[in-house]
């Protein structure tokens, strides 16, 4: 596990974004951990989070020309990521969408840079994949090409079928999904901390029941 992934999980735990205990997921599953990226809700947290997104993208090797954040959660994420990437070197245009089309002023549904070329979608997590589908449709409708999706955490968990939501996005759209951290990273993180041994056991049992292997659906080739 690369250092930035370990640092990210440490930061998420310190900010109470990553919690352990008993939580019920939207699918009705009793999960031993909970991750809520919405709790990165102050300036310092958002700046640091953008930095982790940038590190994950730079480490991925995926080629892209600009960034796009699906409304609403993706709006601060894409701005923070663009800032962090600019500090690291690549100064890229970014944009986001409105939920409703504006018929006055500049109009349209896209705010920021016009969508063009290879567009990386910046989101928090992928659950049902709805926001990704809407983003892909919007990008293509504007004549651009989706280059991939970057998220904070890949739970590597089965959806309604045997594949995870992330795997389904890879297979359906033929684009890579980059994650700052995955469930594999989380398990390594827990194993390295004796004080979290009880949680490691619970997470391992949860993965045995609901998890998918990283190789179950191969990532799409880098465009």
Give whole-number Cα distances, 161 to 17, 128, 139, 157, 195, in Å: 28, 12, 27, 10, 35
Residue 57 predicted with pLDDT over 50:
yes
Arithmetic mean of pLDDT, 77-94: 97
Residues with a known catalytic role: 102, 104
- Report the pLDDT value the prediction gives residue 106, as an integer from 0 to 100: 54
For residues 156 and 33, give the distance between their C-alpha atoms in angstroms, rounded to a whole number.
13
Q: What does the block give as tokens for 28?
A: 């009705």
Report pLDDT for 159. 75
Q: In this predicted structure, what is the pLDDT of residue 223?
A: 38
pLDDT digits (tens, 9 = 90+) for 167-190: 889 989 999 999 999 999 999 999
pLDDT of residue 19: 96
| CATH number belonging to domain 3-210 | 3.40.50.2020
Return d(Cα 64, Cα 57) in angstroms, integer: 10
The residues spanned by each domain of the chain are 3-210
What value does the mean pLDDT take over residues 26-47? 92
Max Cα distance, the chain (Å): 58
* Residues pairing with 111 in the sheet: 96
Q: What is the pTM of this model?
A: 0.90
The set of residues, in sequence order, having a beta carbon less than 8 Å from that of 126 and lying 6+ positions away, is: 132, 149, 151, 154, 165, 166, 169, 177
Q: What is the pLDDT of residue 1?
A: 47
């Amino acid at each position: 596990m690369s250092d930035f992934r370990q640092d990210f999980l440490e930061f998420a735990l310190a900010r109470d974004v990553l919690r352990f205990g008993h939580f019920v997921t939207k699918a009705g599953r009793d999960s031993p951990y909970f991750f809520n990226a919405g709790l990165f809700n102050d300036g310092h947290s958002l700046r640091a989070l953008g930095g982790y997104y940038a590190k994950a993208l730079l480490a991925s090797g995926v080629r892209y020309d600009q960034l796009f954040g699906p409304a609403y959660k993706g709006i601060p994420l894409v701005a923070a990521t663009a800032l962090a990437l600019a500090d690291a070197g690549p100064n890229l245009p970014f944009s986001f969408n409105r939920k409703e089309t504006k018929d006055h002023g500049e109009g349209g549904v896209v705010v920021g840079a016009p969508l063009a070329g290879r567009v990386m979608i910046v989101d928090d997590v992928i659950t049902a994949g709805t926001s990704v589908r809407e983003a892909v449709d919007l990008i293509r409708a504007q004549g651009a090409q989706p280059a991939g999706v970057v998220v904070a955490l890949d739970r590597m968990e089965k959806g309604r079928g045997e594949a995870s939501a992330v795997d389904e996005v890879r297979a359906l759209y033929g684009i890579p999904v980059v994650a700052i951290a995955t469930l594999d990273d989380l398990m390594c993180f827990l194993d390295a901390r004796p004080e979290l041994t009880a949680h490691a056991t619970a997470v391992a049992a949860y993965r045995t029941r609901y998890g998918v292997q990283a190789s179950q659906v191969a990532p799409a080739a880098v465009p």
